[in-house]
Amino acid sequence: MVAQETPPILSPAEWEVMKVLWDHGQLAARDVFARLPQGHGWAYKTVKTLLSRLVAKGALAYDQVGNSYLYRPAVTRQKMTRAEVRSVFRRLISEASSPVLAQFIEEADLTAAEIRQLKRQLDEKRDRPAR
């Protein structure tokens, strides 16, 4: 097995950009800018800076097309989410993780189907506790 790469650490602003790329697959800078949720109020140049930093961090890759780049994720969303959730757990928890999890459930916006699935996951965890 290849060495386990530690995914890069992303700032909140960088996460916003990554989400657009994960949702759309491959975009030029201008299109990332256009697809960001309004309300950020970022200048186009700000988005360009974030894209460059993400490339530098290894979170994005790009293909050159003419004189411009098509950016695409270089790490999967799942991998990044996993790493971030781990990091949050380490940060917030000193003993039991259950209260933090409860808080998470409280915050979440869930459909009945999702609730079923999460309960199933808890059952599996109960039946197979160690990882």
Q: Could you list the residues that contact DNA (CB under 7 A)?
A: 9, 11-14, 28-30, 40-43, 45-46, 48-50, 52, 66-69
Closer CB to a copy of itself, residue 63 or residue 107?
Answer: 107
Burial class (CB in 10 A: 0-12, 13-18, 19+), 46: middle
Closer CB to a copy of itself, residue 37 or residue 66?
Answer: 37
Give yes or no for a contact between 72 and 62, defined as CB atoms under 8 angstroms apart. yes
Give the interface with a copy of itself as residue ranges (CB under 8 A). Answer: 12, 15, 19, 22-23, 78, 81-82, 84-86, 88-89, 91-92, 94, 96-112, 114-115, 117-119, 121-123, 125-126, 129
Closer CB to a copy of itself, residue 65 or residue 115?
Answer: 115
Alpha helices per DSSP H over the chain: 12-24, 29-35, 44-57, 77-92, 98-107, 112-127
Give yes or no for a contact between 59 and 5, defined as CB atoms under 8 angstroms apart. no
Task: Work out what residue 100 binds among DNA, a copy of itself, none; the CB cut-off runs from 5 to 8 Å by kind.
Answer: a copy of itself
Q: What is the Cα–Cα distance from 88 to 90, expressed in whole angstroms?
A: 5
Burial class (CB in 10 A: 0-12, 13-18, 19+), 10: buried
Closer CB to DNA, residue 13 or residue 22?
Answer: 13
Task: Work out what residue 23 binds among a copy of itself, DNA, none; the CB cut-off runs from 5 to 8 Å by kind.
Answer: a copy of itself
Task: Work out what residue 43 binds among a copy of itself, DNA, none; the CB cut-off runs from 5 to 8 Å by kind.
Answer: DNA
